[in-house]
């Protein structure tokens, strides 16, 4: 990377209780959280996708590597995709050593995020229970716990009595259909306010000179020298992007989209092992807080948490049919409610308030595709399935390092696109079902 100018940092207006009181007394308004800038004709790097991954990548490019001539482009508004539609669960209790190390780093970055970014992202380290309803899923919980312990991650398998103490609303009786036989307990897991993560990265990146462009849709990626049509494809290199607001020249394009990862990559002539499926979620009306932890059941395809506002937030597995339509379905809410009541009959009278869906790019091995591609200057941070939010900080950090150094950082080397050429898939697929 040449020609990178480290820009003078603007001093951000700090957020604090004192500042709130001071501005409140004076009746002052807060300044804009990020600037509204003109789209330039050229950048050192362009990040496609203004979600948590794209914004984190831009932030770490600026903070860790001094690369600030960066534009983040989003076709709608910042956080409009999966970043604002997920159920905001974070955890590190994965199955494979490479998965555990990666998500553990992410969790560390989440824990220090409020101070790093000077915005309260409301990291709620409330613990995470993955329920087991059969001896085979209990065996998988033990497997995860053992691998976690070896990586220094706090996970253990607990029995129904301990589960009852942590979450009394769960029905741990010898239930006729899906008895709760045990759970993987992961105290460092929890939930984060997802929108605040988007805004925090955006604000911090903006302060360091990164430009954020909303309503800027990428129409094509301009390449040369590749074996495909128009110089795209393997062996080629990126020279720019075309947008609905004009053309940009740039040697680096990072695809940080979810739901549209395949379409964006196709613009550079890169084919991905991805199918796009909707993931639905729903929220109830608020009630007084009674569920102090995150509860997941892989067999029942449901995860449940209660926000500080009192709503129960539910998620499920992705819809089985590949589609870009995200209108949501009734059968999702029916199945969801049935499964929630299996676990917690007492919420039968709570009312479902809203359902929504987001798009998930599913890969064959439940692991992302990260790093370099056969097109020089075109990097991907895609294929995030249902676990993209929890990986955002570490993904941004590692992708920024890849861009800045031109080398694949070790932490993300298991997730290279080339693994689908050699058939050496990531072992997260080893567990029959993936929890959230």
Partner 1 sequence: MLLVPCPNCGPRNWSDLRYGGESHARPDPATATPLQWRGYLYLRDNPAGWLRENWYCRSGCRRWFTVERNTATNEFRDPPMPGDKRGAKA
Partner 2 sequence: MTMSRLGTARPTEVVDRSSKVRFRWNGKRFSGFEGDTIASALAAAGEHVFSRSMKYHRPRGILTADYWDPNLMVQVGDDPNVRAGHRLLEAGMDVRAQNVWPSLHRDIKALNGLVGRFLTAGFYYKTFMRPAWLWPTYERVLATFAPGGRIDPDTPHRYHDKRYTHPDVVVAGAGPAGIEAALAASAAGARVLLVEHEHAVGGHLRYSSSASARAALAELRAALDASDVEVLTDSTVTGRYEDNWLAIVQRSHPIAVERLIKARAKMLVVAPGLIERPYVFAGNDRPGVITSGAARRLINLWGVRPGERAVVFAANSAGDAAAADLDRVGVEVAAVIDGRDHRRVSAAQGSPKAVEAVLAGGSRIEADLLVVAAGWTAPTSLLNMAGDRPVYDPAAARFFASDPPGNVLVAGGLAGDGSLDELRAHAAATGRLAAQRAAAVAHRLQARTARARPAEGAEPAWAPDERTPLDRDPHPELYRSDTHGMVDFSEDVGSKDLVAAAREGYDSVELAKRYTTATMGPSQGKLETVNTVAAIAEARGETIAEVGTTVWRPPFAPITLGALAGRVFEPVRVSSIQPWHEANGVTTILAGQWVRPDHYGDPAAEVRNVRTNVGLIDVTPLGKLDLRGPDIPKLLNLLYTNKWSKLAVGKVRYGMMCAEDGVVLDDGVTGRLGPDHYLMTTTSSGAGAIWEWVENWLQTERPDWKVHVTPVTTAYVSINVAGPKARELVGRVSEGVDVSPEAFAYMEVRTATVAGVDGCFMWRIGFTGELSFEIHAPAGHGLHVWEALMAAGKDLGVGPFGLEAQRIMRLEKGHFIVGQDTDGLTLGPSTGLSPLIKLDKDDFAGKPELAWATERRLPVIVAIQPDDAGVVPAEASQIVRGETNEILGRITSSRLSPTLGRSICLGQVEPELAAGGTKLTVLLTSGERISATVMDHHAHFDPAGERLRG
Helix (H) or strand (E) holding 423: none
Closer residue to partner 1 (CB): 13 or 273: 273
Closer residue to partner 1 (CB): 187 or 364: 364
Distances (CA, A) of 93 to 74, 189, 278, 298, 435: 31, 8, 24, 14, 10
- Nearest distance from C-beta of residue 299 to partner 1, angstroms: 19
Helix (H) or strand (E) holding 130: strand 128-132
Q: Give yes or no for residue 423 binding partner 1 (CB under 8 A).
A: yes
Q: Give yes or no for residue 263 binding partner 1 (CB under 8 A).
A: yes
**Residue among 342, 328, 343, 291 nearest 312 (CA):** 291
Task: At 247, list the tokens.
Answer: 């053309």
Which of the choices partner 1, partner 2, none does residue 1 contact, using the CB cut-off of 5 to 8 A by kind? Answer: none
Closer residue to partner 2 (CB): 238 or 291: 291
- Nearest distance from C-beta of residue 200 to partner 2, angstroms: 8
Closer residue to partner 2 (CB): 165 or 334: 334
CB atoms within 10 A of CB 117: 24
Among 273, 292, 310, 328, binds partner 1 (CB under 8 A): 273
- Nearest distance from C-beta of residue 108 to partner 2, angstroms: 13
Closer residue to partner 1 (CB): 273 or 292: 273
Q: Give yes or no for residue 331 binding partner 1 (CB under 8 A).
A: yes
Which of the choices partner 2, partner 1, none does residue 116 contact, using the CB cut-off of 5 to 8 A by kind? Answer: none
Q: Is 283 helix (H, G, I), strand (E, B) or coil?
A: strand
Helices of type H across 66-180? 97-111, 113-117, 135-150, 160-166
> What span, in angstroms and rounded, lies between the C-alpha atoms of 76 and 214?
6
Q: Give yes or no for residue 276 binding partner 1 (CB under 8 A).
A: yes
Stretch that binds partner 1, among 130-138, 268-276, 290-298, 337-345 (CB under 8 A): 268-276
Among 219, 234, 322, 353, binds partner 1 (CB under 8 A): 322
Whether residue 217 contacts residue 242, with contact meaning beta carbons closer than 8 Å, is answered with: no
> What span, in angstroms and rounded, lies between the C-alpha atoms of 321 and 362?
12
Q: Is 333 helix (H, G, I), strand (E, B) or coil?
A: helix
- Nearest distance from C-beta of residue 408 to partner 1, angstroms: 20
Whether residue 409 contacts residue 399, with contact meaning beta carbons closer than 8 Å, is answered with: no
- Nearest distance from C-beta of residue 23 to partner 1, angstroms: 45
Closer residue to partner 2 (CB): 155 or 250: 155
Which of the choices partner 2, partner 1, none does residue 275 contact, using the CB cut-off of 5 to 8 A by kind? Answer: partner 1
- Nearest distance from C-beta of residue 267 to partner 2, angstroms: 26
- Nearest distance from C-beta of residue 76 to partner 1, angstroms: 15
Tell me the per-residue interface mask from 335 to 374 with partner 1, x by CB under 8 A, - otherwise.
-----------------------------x----------
Burial 183-198 (b: 16+ CB within 10 A, else e): bbbbbbbbbbbbebbb
Distances (CA, A) of 358 to 85, 334, 412: 6, 18, 25
User: Would you tell me which residues interact with partner 1 (CB under 8 A)?
Assistant: 260, 262-263, 271-276, 320-325, 329-331, 364, 420-423
């Amino acid at each position: 990377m040449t020609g990178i100018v480290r820009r003078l940092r603007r001093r951000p207006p700090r957020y604090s209780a004192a500042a709130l009181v001071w501005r409140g007394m004076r009746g002052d308004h807060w300044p804009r959280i990020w600037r509204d800038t003109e789209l330039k004709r050229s950048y050192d790097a362009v990040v496609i996708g203004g979600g948590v991954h794209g914004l984190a990548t831009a932030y770490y490019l600026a903070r860790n590597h001094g690369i600030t001539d960066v534009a983040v482009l989003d076709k709608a508004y910042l956080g409009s995709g999966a970043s604002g539609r997920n159920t905001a669960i974070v955890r590190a209790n994965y199955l494979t050593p490479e998965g555990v190390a990666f998500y553990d780093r992410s969790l560390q970055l989440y824990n220090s995020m409020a101070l790093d970014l000077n915005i309260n992202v409301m990291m709620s380290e409330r613990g995470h229970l993955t329920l087991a309803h059969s001896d085979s899923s209990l065996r998988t919980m033990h497997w995860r716990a053992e691998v976690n312990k070896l990586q220094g991650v706090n996970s253990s398998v607990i029995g129904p009595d301990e589960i009852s103490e942590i979450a009394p609303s769960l029905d741990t009786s010898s239930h006729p259909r899906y008895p709760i036989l045990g759970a993987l307990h992961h105290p460092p897991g929890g939930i984060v306010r997802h929108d605040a993560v988007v805004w925090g990265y955006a604000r911090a990146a903006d302060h360091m000179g990164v430009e954020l462009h909303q309503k800027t849709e990428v129409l094509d990626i301009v390449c040369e020298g590749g074996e495909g049509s128009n110089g795209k494809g393997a062996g080629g290199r990126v020279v720019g992007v075309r947008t609905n607001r004009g053309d940009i020249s740039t040697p680096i394009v990072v695809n940080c989209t979810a739901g549209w990862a395949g379409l964006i990559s196709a613009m550079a002539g890169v084919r991905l092992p991805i199918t796009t499926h909707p993931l639905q979620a729903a929220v109830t009306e608020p009630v007084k807080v009674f569920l102090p932890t995150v509860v997941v059941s892989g067999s029942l395809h449901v995860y449940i948490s209660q926000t500080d506002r009192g709503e129960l937030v539910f998620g499920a597995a992705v819809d089985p049919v590949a589609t870009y339509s995200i209108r949501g379905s009734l059968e999702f809410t029916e199945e969801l409610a049935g499964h929630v009541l299996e676990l917690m009959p007492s919420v039968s009278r709570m009312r479902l308030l809203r359902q929504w869906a987001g798009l998930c790019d599913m890969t064959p091995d439940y692991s992302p595709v990260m790093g370099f591609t056969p097109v020089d200057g075109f990097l991907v941070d895609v294929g995030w399935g249902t676990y993209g939010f929890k990986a955002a900080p570490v993904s941004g950090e590692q992708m920024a390092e890849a861009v800045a150094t031109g080398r694949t950082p070790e932490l993300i080397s298991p997730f290279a696109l080339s693994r689908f050429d050699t058939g050496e898939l990531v072992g997260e697929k080893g567990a029959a079902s993936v929890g959230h």
